């Protein structure tokens, strides 16, 4: 059975002082949540601080991008090995803000994905359509193309070592989330597309939803059959909100396992 996962994406937010309060609040808030996983992906300069706070706790950590090259004259770049040095488990890749504002493409996102896997990091690979693409009924074409950019190059089996995130651009940072039904439809499309290549991989694959998830909508989203947790931006910057979202994931996991036990009895 897939464990729910909630990943915070701090983006370019934080300071040494505010991180202390945020991380302490998250550690204490999630300590009894045994049926789900959670992680925070922080800006590079805070990886050392995050590692010091989170080691030996339930909360994993990671970064928000990496450079696919191993090393070299690449001013400003950070390699996968450097993330491993700081104990990262996850790395967010292909985020829409990277694709749009930093001109990353399916090709460069795939190269990063490959570098992450080689280093033993778990990519949280983001996919999603713009408002115009949704209105033109191109959602499946766009998300399918982004998914294929990985499957065609590396095969579906690599997805056993990755997490996917469906993040419609019109929902990210807008306060306008997808409805649980809208999100479920795309998650089901993603899972079915992976299943055509490898049904076992598809059954185990965690697909997160991201885009204006809040404590008020998390339970409904995480209650959908193909939504395995969330990638959380704004609400991951407040311990109380992030913990409430992690609790919603944990509660959803508990009700799924109760249902399975009932069906088996």
In angstroms, the Cα distances linking 199 to 59, 156, 256 are: 30, 10, 21
- How far is residue 84's CA from residue 14's CA, in Å, rounded to a whole number? 21
What angle (nearest 5°) sits at the alpha carbon of residue 217, between those of residues 211 and 223? 100
Which of 147, 156, 159, 231 touches ligand PEP by CB under 6 A? Answer: 231
Site string for ligand PEP, 1-40 (x = CB under 6 A): --------x-------------------------------
Q: Which among 79-87, 196-204, 232-240, 246-254 is the span making contact with ligand PEP, rule CB under 6 A?
A: 232-240
Closest approach, Cβ 195 to ligand PEP, in A, equals 25
233 binds ligand PEP (CB under 6 A): yes
Helix axis angle, 180-197 relative to 215-222, nearest 10°?
Answer: 40
Closer of 90 and 201 to ligand PEP (Cβ)? 90
3-class secondary-structure state, position 7: strand
173 binds ligand PEP (CB under 6 A): yes
- How far is residue 92's CA from residue 84's CA, in Å, rounded to a whole number? 14
Site string for ligand PEP, 185-224 (x = CB under 6 A): -------------------------xxxx-----------
Helix axis angle, 239-264 relative to 16-30, nearest 10°?
Answer: 30
Question: Which of positions 140-169 make contact with ligand PEP (CB under 6 A)?
Answer: 167
Residues that bind ligand PEP (rule: CB under 6 A) add up to a total of 13
184 binds ligand PEP (CB under 6 A): no
229 binds ligand PEP (CB under 6 A): no
- How far is residue 125's CA from residue 127's CA, in Å, rounded to a whole number? 7
DSSP β-bridge partners for residue 125? 93, 164
Which amino acids are annotated catalytic? 95, 167
Closest approach, Cβ 240 to ligand PEP, in A, equals 15
Helix axis angle, 139-154 relative to 180-197, nearest 10°?
Answer: 30
232 binds ligand PEP (CB under 6 A): yes
Residue sitting closest to ligand PEP (CB): 233
Which of 54, 172, 207, 221 touches ligand PEP by CB under 6 A? Answer: 172
123 binds ligand PEP (CB under 6 A): no
In angstroms, the Cα distances linking 243 to 22, 107, 189 are: 10, 35, 29
3-class secondary-structure state, position 213: coil
Positions that interact with ligand PEP (CB under 6 A):
9, 167, 172-173, 210-213, 231-235
């Amino acid at each position: 059975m897939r464990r729910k996962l909630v990943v915070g994406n701090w983006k370019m937010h934080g300071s040494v002082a505010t991180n202390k309060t945020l991380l302490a609040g998250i550690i204490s808030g999630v300590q009894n949540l045994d049926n789900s996983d959670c992680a925070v992906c922080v800006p590079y300069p805070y990886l050392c601080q995050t590692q010091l706070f989170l080691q030996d706790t339930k909360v994993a950590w990671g970064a928000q991008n990496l450079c696919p090259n191993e090393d070299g004259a690449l001013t400003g770049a950070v390699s996968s090995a450097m993330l491993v040095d700081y104990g990262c488990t996850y790395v967010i890749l292909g985020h829409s803000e990277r694709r749009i504002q930093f001109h990353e493409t399916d090709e460069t996102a795939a190269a990063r994905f490959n570098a992450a896997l080689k280093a033993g990091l778990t990519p949280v690979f983001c996919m999603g359509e713009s408002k115009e693409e949704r209105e033109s009924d191109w959602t499946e074409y766009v998300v399918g193309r982004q998914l294929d950019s990985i499957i065609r190059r590396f095969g579906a089996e690599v997805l056993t070592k990755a997490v996917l995130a469906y993040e419609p651009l019109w929902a990210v940072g807008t306060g306008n989330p997808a409805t649980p039904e809208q999100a479920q439809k795309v998650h089901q499309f993603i899972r079915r597309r992976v299943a055509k290549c490898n049904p076992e991989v598809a059954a185990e694959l965690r697909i997160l939803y991201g885009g204006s998830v809040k404590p008020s909508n998390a339970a409904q989203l995480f209650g959908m059959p193909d939504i395995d947790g969330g990638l959380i931006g704004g609400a991951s910057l407040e311990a109380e909100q992030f913990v409430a979202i992690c609790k919603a994931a944990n509660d959803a996991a508990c009700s799924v396992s109760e249902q399975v036990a009932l069906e088996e009895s």
